[in-house]
A and B are shown apart, each in its own frame.
Chain A
Amino acid sequence: MNVWSRRLRRFAIGLLGPVVAIGFALALSAVILKISGHDPWQAFRAMYDYGKTRASIISMLNRSIPYYITGLAVAIGFKMNLFNIGVEGQYRLAAVIAAWAGAAVKFPAPIHVLFIIAVAAAVGASLGGITAILKVTRNVHEVITSIMLNTISTGLAAYLLAAHFAQKNKPGDLIIKTKEIPESGWFPSLNGLLSRIGIELPIGSNLQGFIVVAVLLGVAYYFLVWRTRFGYDLRASGINPFAAEASGVDPNRMVVTTLLLSGGVAGLAGLSQVLGFFHRYTIDFPTGLGFTGIGIALLGRNHPVGIAFGSLLFAFLERSAQVLDLEGVPKEIVVIMQGVMILSIVIAYEVVHRLVEIQERKAVVEATHEAPPGMEVAAA
C-alpha cells in the first residue's frame, strides 16, 4: 500500500464514526417523534427546507462561531489528555470583564478591539492557570477544579455584573447590562464584503466579522499542534506521558502551558456576541456554550476541520429547529438529537477503533506467516 491509499483508507475509517453516529441520532429521533405521534419525515423535511434559506445560513454561521472557539479550547486540552470542563466559566467571566473593560476605555478602532480581545484571553487564561497550578502543585484533578471553578466564575460574573458593572438603566428598563462599548470597539460585519462579491443579504441579517478570528484560530491551532515542536511534545505527552518525560518533556510545564492556552482561547468564545452583536454584556447572554463545546470537540475528533463541521452541524440543527414549532413538533427534539449524537459518536469511535485493531492484528499475523524464513530471523 502506498502512502496515499493508506491515508485515504484512514480518512474513510475516520469518517465512518461520525456518519454512523449522525445516522443513529437521526433514526432514534425519528422513532421518538413517531412514538409521540409526529411525522418524522415531514419534520426533517421542514427543517431542511428552512435551514437552506440564505437568512438561515447566515444565522447558522454566526451561531457556529462561539461553538467553534469553545470546541478548539476543549480540543487543545484533549490533545494532551487534559479535560478542560472549565470552558463554561472561562468564557462567561471573560465576556463580562472584557465588556466592562471595553466600555471603560477609548482607543482608536483596531487597538480598542485588540484590547478587548486581550482582556478576555487574559481572564480565561488565568482561570485555566488556577486549574493548572492546583494540578501541578497539589495534584488536584483538573476536572474537579474546573467543575468548581465553573460555578465560582458564574457566581462571580453575576456578582460583578449586578454590583459593579451594571449601567444605570432608564426607568422601566429591567435588563441588567454593562455600559455600551464605544463604536471603535465594535467588530465590523462582513456584509460589505459579501455584497461586493455579489451576495445580497436579506434585511436584518449580519454576518459577524468575528468569524475571521475563529478561522484564524483554527489555522493557528493546526500549526501549533501539528507543525511545531511544542505541538509534538503536546501530542506525545497525550499519547504516552512517561515516554514524553523520558525524552525530556517537562510534564508540569506542558500542563501549565496547555491549560493557559485552552483557557485563553475559551475566553474568546463569547466575544463574537460582545463585539459584533450586543456591544455589551447583558443577562441575555448565551449560556452552556462550554458544555456544547466539549461535544463538538468530540464530534470533530479534535481536528480543526472536524470541529468546524461539528459546530456548523449543531448551529444548523438549532437554527432549523425554529421552524418545528410551526409544524406542531416540539423543537426540543433537537436537543435530544444533539445529546444522542455526542454519546453515539464516542461509542462509534470506540467500536471503529476496536475493529481496526482486530483487522491490524489479523494483517500482522498474515504478514508474518507469509514472510520467508530469513525475514523472520531479521525481524526477531
Chain B
Amino acid sequence: MTLVARPPRAGGRTGSSTDEIEEVQSRGVRARLLRYTLLALVVVAILATTREITGADELTRSGTFGAALRLAVPIGLTGMGAIYCERAGVVNIGLEGMMIFGTWFGGWAGWQYGAWWGIGLGILGGAAGGLLHALATVTFGVNHIVSGVAINILAPGVARYLSVISFSPGSGGGASQSPPIRNVIGRVNLPFVAGGDLFGWRSPDMFGWLERKRWFMLSDVGGLLRGITGEISWAAILAIALVPLSFWFLWRTSFGLRLRSAGENPAAAESLGVSVYLVKYVGTVISGAFAGFAGAFLVTEFAGIYQEGQTGGRGFIGLATLIFGNWRPVGVAAGAALFGFADALQLRNDASVHAMLLAVAMGVGLLAAVAVFRRNLGMALATSIIAAGFLVWFLMSDTVPRQFVFFTPHLTTLLVLGLSRRRLRMPTADGLVYRKGEAT
C-alpha cells in the first residue's frame, strides 16, 4: 500500500488556488487535444499517400469512414463504460457478458416495442449485469477478474435460455436469434457540412463537394469529415455525445473526483468521507449500462435482430481501447476509431486491406524515424525491422487473408503495449479488493 501521496501531475504546484489548478488542468486537456488532432492529420496524410500509390480509393471514401464510425461506436461505448468502473477501482472483464445482455434485451424490446425501446432495455440489461459484478466484487470482495469471467460464462447461457422461452417458433425467432425489430432509428445529415435539411431548406453539402474534388489530402480530409457527419444515426449521435459528457462528469464534477479517488486510494477517500462502496457500485453499474447500450446498438444499427454471438469479442476490444487510451475518454475514442476503421476496411473490400499494409509500413517507419531522432537505437532497430517486414509483405502479396484482418485490432494492441514508449498508468488501486476499515 502506498502511503506517500503522489506528486500532482502538473509539476508540483500544490497549495495553489483552484483557479490556477483549473487553468493547469485545461492546459493539459488542450495540449492533449492538440496532440490528437496532429496525430489524426498524420494518419490521414499516410492514408492519402497510400491511396495515391496503390489506387485503393476506398481507403478514404466517406462510405468507409461512415462505416468505421458505426463500427467504432459499440467498441468506444464499451471502452468508455470501462473508464467508469476502472477509475473507481473495479476491473471489468465481464463487459463482454454485459454486452450480450444488451444485445438480447435490445433484440427482445426492439421486436416487442421498437428500436428506441430496444436501446433503453439493452442499457438496463447491461446495467443489471454491472450490478451483479458490483455485488460480487464490492460487497462480497470476490476477485474482480474471476467475477468478470463468471459473468461472461453466465451471460450466453441466460441469453439462450431467455430466447428459448421468449421467441416461439412461429414468431420468426428461435433459440439463437430474435424476430426482426419493428423499426429503425432515424438518420440525419448534418446541415452545411453534409447537406442536411435545416427547417425544410436543403443546405449545401460542403464536405461532400470537397471529397468529389479529388485533391490530394484535402479531399481525403473531406471524405473523413463527410463520412462522420452524413447519414448518421441519432443513436450514434447520442453515443458520441457521451464522450465529452463522460469527461465532464468524471473530471469536472465532485462526484467524478470521488469516483476517481476510490480507484486511486480508497482508504484515503473513505477517511475524507467518500462512500467508497457506493461510488464503486455506481461506476460498475454505469459501465454495464454503457456495454448494454453497445450491445443494443449492434442490434438496432447492424443486424436488425438479436443473434447469438453477435458481440464477437467487442467487449474485449473495448477493454483493449481502455488500456490503449490510457484510461482516458479521448484516448478511448481514438482507439475505438482505429479499430472501427480496421473493421470497416475488412467489410468493404480486400484491395484496401492490402493497401493498409503499405500504410502500416509507413506509419511504423515514421516511428522508426522518430526513434532515430531521439537516439533510441533499440527502438529504432525494432520498429525498422517491423516496418521493413510490412513493406516486404505488401510487395510480395496481392491479398491479406480474411482471418488476419479479424485479429488486427488485437495484434495492434499487443504491438502498442510492447513497443510504446508512452507510460500507461492505470488507477493505482485498480483491481484490488477494498474492504471498509481494513486500511493498512
Q: Is chain B found bound to chain A in the same assembly? A: yes
Residue numbers in A under 8 Å from B406 (CB-CB) = 151, 155
B153 and A143 contact, CB distance less than 8 A: no
Task: Give CA–CA (A336, B136) in the complex, Å.
Answer: 17
CB < 8 Å: which of B142, B151, B401, B417 contacts A163? Answer: B401
Q: How large is the interface on B (under 10, 10 to 19, 20 to 34, 35 or more residues)?
A: 35 or more
Q: Which of A94-102, A243-251, A339-347 contacts B (4 or more CB under 8 A)?
A: A339-347
A343 and B154 contact, CB distance less than 8 A: yes
Q: Does A330 contact B (CB under 8 A)?
A: yes
Residue numbers in A under 8 Å from B320 (CB-CB) = 144, 147-148
Residue numbers in A under 8 Å from B10 (CB-CB) = none
Q: 8 Å CB contacts to B: which residues of A134-160? A: 134, 138, 140, 143-145, 147-149, 151-152, 154-156, 158-159
A339 and B153 contact, CB distance less than 8 A: yes
Q: 8 Å CB contacts to A: which residues of B233-261? A: none
Residue numbers in A under 8 Å from B132 (CB-CB) = 343
CB < 8 Å: which of A144, A332, A347 contacts B140? Answer: A347
B418 and A342 contact, CB distance less than 8 A: no
Known: A335-B157, A342-B150, A342-B153. A351 touches B407 (CB 8 A): no
Task: Give CA–CA (A262, B323) in the complex, Å.
Answer: 25
B153 and A332 contact, CB distance less than 8 A: no
Task: Give CA–CA (A332, B140) in the complex, Å.
Answer: 28
Residue numbers in A under 8 Å from B410 (CB-CB) = 147-149, 151-152
Task: Give CA–CA (A25, B244) in the complex, Å.
Answer: 42
B401 and A143 contact, CB distance less than 8 A: no
Q: Does B373 contact A (CB under 8 A)?
A: no
CB < 8 Å: which of A32, A295, A298, A350 contacts B141? Answer: A350
Task: Give CA–CA (A270, B155) in the complex, Å.
Answer: 25
Task: Give CA–CA (A242, B404) in the complex, Å.
Answer: 41
Task: Give CA–CA (A155, B149) in the complex, Å.
Answer: 21
Q: Which of B14-22, B57-65, B160-168 contacts A (4 or more CB under 8 A)?
A: B160-168
CB < 8 Å: which of B155, B160, B316, B418 contacts A332? Answer: B160
Task: Give CA–CA (A354, B141) in the complex, Å.
Answer: 10
B150 and A346 contact, CB distance less than 8 A: yes
Task: Give CA–CA (A83, B164) in the complex, Å.
Answer: 34
User: In whole Å, how far is A61's beta carbon from the nearest beta carbon of chain B?
Assistant: 23
User: In whole Å, how far is A74's beta carbon from the nearest beta carbon of chain B?
Assistant: 10
Residue numbers in A under 8 Å from B161 (CB-CB) = 32, 330, 332-333, 335-336
B142 and A152 contact, CB distance less than 8 A: no
Residue numbers in A under 8 Å from B146 (CB-CB) = 294, 298, 346
Residue numbers in B under 8 Å from A190 (CB-CB) = none
What 1/0 flags go to B387-404 for Cβ under 8 Å of A? 000000000000001011
Q: Does B78 contact A (CB under 8 A)?
A: no
B140 and A351 contact, CB distance less than 8 A: yes
Residue numbers in A under 8 Å from B157 (CB-CB) = 332, 334-336, 338-339
User: In whole Å, how far is B423's beta carbon from the nearest beta carbon of chain A?
Assistant: 10
Q: Does B147 contact A (CB under 8 A)?
A: yes
User: In whole Å, how far is B304's beta carbon from the nearest beta carbon of chain A?
Assistant: 24
Q: Output the nearest chain B residue to A298 by Cβ-Cβ distance.
A: B146
Task: Give CA–CA (A162, B401) in the complex, Å.
Answer: 10
CB < 8 Å: which of A85, A159, A342, A347 contacts B403? Answer: A159
User: In whole Å, how far is A79's beta carbon from the nearest beta carbon of chain B?
Assistant: 14
Residue numbers in B under 8 Å from A155 (CB-CB) = 403-404, 406-407
Known: A36-B165, A159-B403, A330-B165. A339 touches B154 (CB 8 A): yes
Q: Does A237 contact B (CB under 8 A)?
A: no
Q: How large is the interface on A (under 10, 10 to 19, 20 to 34, 35 or more residues)?
A: 35 or more
Q: 8 Å CB contacts to B: which residues of A148-207? A: 148-149, 151-152, 154-156, 158-159, 162-163
Tell me what chain B mostly uses at the interface: helix, strand, loop, or mixed. helix
Q: Does A292 contact B (CB under 8 A)?
A: yes
A346 and B143 contact, CB distance less than 8 A: yes
User: In whole Å, how far is A295's beta carbon from the nearest beta carbon of chain B?
Assistant: 6
Residue numbers in A under 8 Å from B319 (CB-CB) = 144, 147
User: In whole Å, how far is B424's beta carbon from the nearest beta carbon of chain A?
Assistant: 9
Q: Does B414 contact A (CB under 8 A)?
A: yes
Q: Does B152 contact A (CB under 8 A)?
A: yes
A291 and B152 contact, CB distance less than 8 A: yes
Residue numbers in B under 8 Å from A162 (CB-CB) = 403
CB < 8 Å: which of A32, A152, A334 contacts B411? Answer: A152
A134 and B414 contact, CB distance less than 8 A: yes
Q: Output the nearest chain B residue to A37 by Cβ-Cβ distance.
A: B165
Task: Give CA–CA (A173, B164) in the complex, Å.
Answer: 31
CB < 8 Å: which of B150, B175, B323 contacts A295? Answer: B150
Q: Output the nearest chain A residue to B155 by Cβ-Cβ distance.
A: A339
Task: Give CA–CA (A106, B83) in the complex, Å.
Answer: 54
A347 and B401 contact, CB distance less than 8 A: no
Q: Does B145 contact A (CB under 8 A)?
A: yes
- Most A C-beta atoms less than 10 A away, residue of B147, B151, B158, B161: B161
- Most A C-beta atoms less than 10 A away, residue of B132, B175, B313, B410: B410
User: In whole Å, how far is A2's beta carbon from the nearest beta carbon of chain B?
Assistant: 33
Q: 8 Å CB contacts to A: which residues of B368-421? A: 401, 403-404, 406-407, 410-411, 413-414, 417-418
Task: Give CA–CA (A116, B418) in the complex, Å.
Answer: 32
User: In whole Å, how far is A195's beta carbon from the nearest beta carbon of chain B?
Assistant: 38
Q: Output the nearest chain A residue to B419 by Cβ-Cβ distance.
A: A138
A158 and B164 contact, CB distance less than 8 A: no
Q: Output the nearest chain A residue to B142 by Cβ-Cβ distance.
A: A346
Residue numbers in B under 8 Å from A335 (CB-CB) = 156-157, 160-161
Known: A140-B418, A159-B403. A340 touches B136 (CB 8 A): no
Task: Give CA–CA (A12, B150) in the complex, Å.
Answer: 25
Q: Output the nearest chain B residue to A334 by Cβ-Cβ distance.
A: B157
Task: Give CA–CA (A298, B339) in the complex, Å.
Answer: 33
- Most A C-beta atoms less than 10 A away, residue of B132, B140, B150: B150
Q: 8 Å CB contacts to B: which residues of A330-380? A: 330, 332-336, 338-340, 342-343, 346-347, 350-351, 354
B404 and A332 contact, CB distance less than 8 A: no
Residue numbers in B under 8 Å from A143 (CB-CB) = 93, 145
Residue numbers in A under 8 Å from B156 (CB-CB) = 335
Residue numbers in B under 8 Å from A152 (CB-CB) = 407, 410-411, 414
Residue numbers in B under 8 Å from A330 (CB-CB) = 161, 164-165, 175
Q: Output the nearest chain B residue to A160 by Cβ-Cβ distance.
A: B403
User: In whole Å, how far is B30's beta carbon from the nearest beta carbon of chain A?
Assistant: 30
Residue numbers in B under 8 Å from A343 (CB-CB) = 132, 136, 147, 150-151, 154
User: In whole Å, how far is B16's beta carbon from the nearest beta carbon of chain A?
Assistant: 33
What 1/0 flags go to B128-147 for Cβ under 8 Å of A? 00001000100011110111
CB < 8 Å: which of B140, B175, B401, B407 contacts A350? Answer: B140
A-B pairs with lowest CB-CB distance, top 8: A335-B157, A339-B154, A159-B403, A330-B164, A155-B407, A148-B410, A332-B161, A343-B150
12 A-B pairs (CB sep. < 8 Å)? A134-B414, A138-B417, A145-B414, A291-B149, A332-B160, A333-B161, A335-B161, A339-B151, A339-B153, A339-B154, A342-B153, A347-B142
Chain A residues proximal to chain B, CB less than 8 Å: 32, 36, 83, 85, 134, 138, 140, 143-145, 147-149, 151-152, 154-156, 158-159, 162-163, 291-292, 294-295, 298, 330, 332-336, 338-340, 342-343, 346-347, 350-351, 354
Chain B residues proximal to chain A, CB less than 8 Å: 93, 132, 136, 140-143, 145-147, 149-158, 160-161, 164-165, 175, 313, 316, 319-320, 323, 401, 403-404, 406-407, 410-411, 413-414, 417-418
